[in-house]
């Protein structure tokens, strides 16, 4: 029987704190302490990469660079790169339960610039950056891309006024490197800060037996350093404009489908290189996290390609993806037993099912989906789960349980109450978490909003919408002793207690699910 375990899904940005957004500082360490105290094994987060269009972590300027909003100022002060007066009186947002992305975008930059200047004033700064740059082979390209992007008024790559810069004319780039030297150094140093703070936090988690489940979006943004430097890997024209884009047809979220806008991969070129870029990308992800959730796993079996003249996301067609060949190439380089989780949600046909079976990666089950079918036939309902799965109440794309339950029909509510054996006056969140933890899935992951019994307005993301997503933050006082006791209880009752710390001390710690 596979080992049973559990964890909590909450992004870094949702941590409480005083800097307008969650950071790698004190509250992140306290959250790990909470996971240890309640016998959890996993902390699942969203992508740590930079955010761009719509503030989404799934639309990043780089597949590798980190989100510098997560850099903690108190830690920079402890390192001697800031004074408390540099940031203590700065307004990072008035609502502690919402991230004000526009405000932190402008408020954090001058503070980080002071820290960068202090870092570069050190006698060993150049040596430290050289060492880091050797480890992060993507750093120079990323720093140049961001410096140019800022120089062109933060416009998307395809809108830069200098076409030679878009096309990477080497003589033109050489001039920009001199002209934008300070900005390039800023982006290098802030990535160094990010890397150091994240590594320390992850080490703290691992030392306490907590493993990090990270997230890798399948696609990259059209406005990204990858499209800029490796256009041959994407279906783009000579000005790097997408010839067709990614998304999905009509689904439960939208009658017009979802239009993501990411450029489609030129899969024939990836195959010619034996998927070298994917080997690199997955290796980088596994260096950053203990486990890697690959988003939109179906896109590797077949993907929805939307025409360049689209009116809605429905203006597309299914195309065959690289399939098993990609993961065979990855496993040949990185090993057979990769700690990967497949996000196998949405329209899953026989091709997608076969790819999941071929790779043997655990897939995901969503309890909210399962309870919608009052006939009990859904593959997402617990009596159809298998052990090689990760069970969730919902994900960042779903409603929190309270909002979901309010929108059910009376028949669905009755079915849910009966199926969960909900007790009189018991919160529906508690009933569903009990059911989730009691399932046969090897791993059960609770969304933090559900654990805290939060209301519908605490949802993280509504797919295919812009303007109010990715903003939710918990308050420090939300995590009561009662909430901790409940999580500890269901973790213990259903045999999901974390024993990794004991194994690690005995020298038997491993990375198996």
Q: Is 295 a catalytic residue?
A: yes
CB atoms within 10 A of CB 2: 14
Q: Is 397 a catalytic residue?
A: yes
Q: Is 343 a catalytic residue?
A: yes
Q: For residue 341, what are the contacts with CB-CB under 8 A and spacing of at least 6? A: 213, 291, 292, 293, 294, 361, 362, 363, 364, 390, 513
Q: What does the radius of gyration of the chain's CA atoms come to, in whole angstroms?
A: 23
Q: For residue 39, what are the contacts with CB-CB under 8 A and spacing of at least 6? A: 488, 491, 492, 496, 497, 498
Q: Which of 72, 368, 380, 397 is catalytic?
A: 397
Give every strand in the sheet of 363-366, ordered side by side. Answer: 340-342, 291-294, 211-216, 42-44, 5-9, 443-447, 389-392, 363-366
Taking a C-beta distance cutoff of 8 angstroms, is the pair 400, 389 a contact? no
Count the residues in the chain: 513
Give me the residue label for tokens 């933060």: 154
Q: How far apart are CA 170 and CA 153, in angstroms?
A: 22
Q: What angle do CA 452, 456, 461 make, to 5 degrees?
A: 95
Q: How far apart are CA 65 and CA 188, in angstroms?
A: 10
Q: What angle do CA 267, 269, 272 make, to 5 degrees?
A: 110
Q: How far apart are CA 384 and CA 366, in angstroms?
A: 12
Q: How far apart are CA 436 and CA 416, in angstroms?
A: 13
Q: Which of 86, 141, 302, 343 is catalytic?
A: 343
- 403-442 as b/e: b if 16+ CB within 10 A: bbbeebeeebbebbeebbebeeeebbbbbbbbbbbbbbbb
Taking a C-beta distance cutoff of 8 angstroms, is the pair 87, 25 a contact? no
The residues that bridge with 398 in the sheet, in sequence order, are none
- 48-57 as b/e: b if 16+ CB within 10 A: bbbbbbbbbb
Q: What are phi and psi of 300, to 5 degrees?
A: -85, -20
Q: Which of 144, 295, 380, 500 is catalytic?
A: 295
Q: For residue 209, what are the contacts with CB-CB under 8 A and spacing of at least 6? A: 36, 41, 498, 499, 500, 501, 502, 504
Q: Which residue numbers are catalytic?
A: 295, 343, 397
């Amino acid at each position: 029987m596979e080992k049973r375990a559990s964890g909590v899904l909450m992004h870094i940005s949702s941590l409480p704190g005083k800097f307008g957004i969650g950071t790698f500082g004190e509250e992140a360490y306290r959250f790990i302490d909470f996971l240890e105290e309640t016998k959890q094994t996993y902390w699942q987060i969203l992508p740590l990469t930079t955010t761009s269009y719509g503030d989404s972590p799934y639309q990043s300027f780089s597949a590798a660079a980190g989100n510098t909003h997560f850099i903690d100022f108190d830690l920079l002060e402890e390192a001697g790169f800031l004074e408390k007066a540099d940031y203590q009186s700065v307004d990072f947002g008035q609502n502690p339960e919402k991230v004000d992305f526009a405000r932190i975008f402008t408020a954090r930059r001058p503070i980080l610039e002071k820290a960068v200047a202090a870092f570069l004033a050190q006698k060993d700064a150049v040596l430290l950056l050289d060492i880091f740059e050797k480890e992060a082979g993507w750093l120079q390209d990323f720093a140049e891309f961001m410096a140019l992007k800022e120089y062109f008024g933060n416009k998307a790559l395809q809108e830069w006024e200098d076409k030679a810069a878009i096309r990477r004319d080497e003589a033109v780039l050489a001039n920009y490197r001199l002209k934008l030297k300070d900005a390039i150094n800023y982006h290098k140093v802030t990535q160094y800060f990010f890397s150091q703070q994240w590594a320390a936090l992850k080490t703290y988690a691992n030392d306490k037996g907590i493993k990090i489940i990270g997230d890798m979006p399948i696609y990259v943004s059209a406005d990204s350093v990858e499209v800029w430097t490796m256009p041959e890997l994407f279906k783009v024209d000579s000005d790097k404009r997408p010839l067709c884009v990614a998304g999905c047809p009509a689904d439960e979220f939208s009658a017009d489908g979802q239009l993501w806008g990411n450029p489609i991969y030129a899969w024939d070129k990836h195959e010619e290189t034996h998927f070298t870029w994917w080997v690199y990308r997955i290796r980088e992800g596994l260096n950053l996290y203990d486990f890697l959730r690959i988003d939109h796993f179906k896109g590797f079996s077949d993907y929805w390609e939307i025409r360049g003249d689209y009116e809605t996301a429905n203006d597309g067609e299914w195309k065959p993806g690289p399939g098993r060949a990609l993961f065979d190439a990855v496993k040949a380089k990185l090993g057979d037993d990769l700690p990967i989780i497949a996000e196998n949600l949405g329209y899953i046909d026989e091709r997608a099912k076969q790819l999941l079976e071929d790779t043997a990666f655990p897939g995901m089950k969503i309890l909210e989906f399962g309870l919608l079918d009052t006939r009990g036939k859904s593959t997402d309902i617990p009596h159809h789960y298998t052990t090689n799965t990760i069970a969730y109440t919902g994900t960042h794309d779903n409603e929190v349980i309270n909002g979901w339950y309010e929108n059910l029909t009376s028949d669905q509510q009755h079915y849910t109450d009966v199926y969960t054996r909900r007790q009189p006056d018991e919160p529906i969140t508690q009933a569903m978490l009990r059911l989730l933890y009691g399932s046969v899935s090897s791993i059960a992951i609770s969304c933090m909003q559900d654990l805290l019994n939060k209301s519908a307005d605490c949802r993280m993301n509504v797919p295919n919408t812009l303007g109010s997503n990715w903003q939710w933050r918990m308050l420090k006082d939300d995590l009561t002793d009662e909430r901790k006791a409940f999580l500890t209880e269901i973790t213990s009752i259903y045999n999901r207690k974390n024993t990794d710390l004991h194994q690690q001390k005995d020298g038997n710690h491993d990375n198996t699910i």
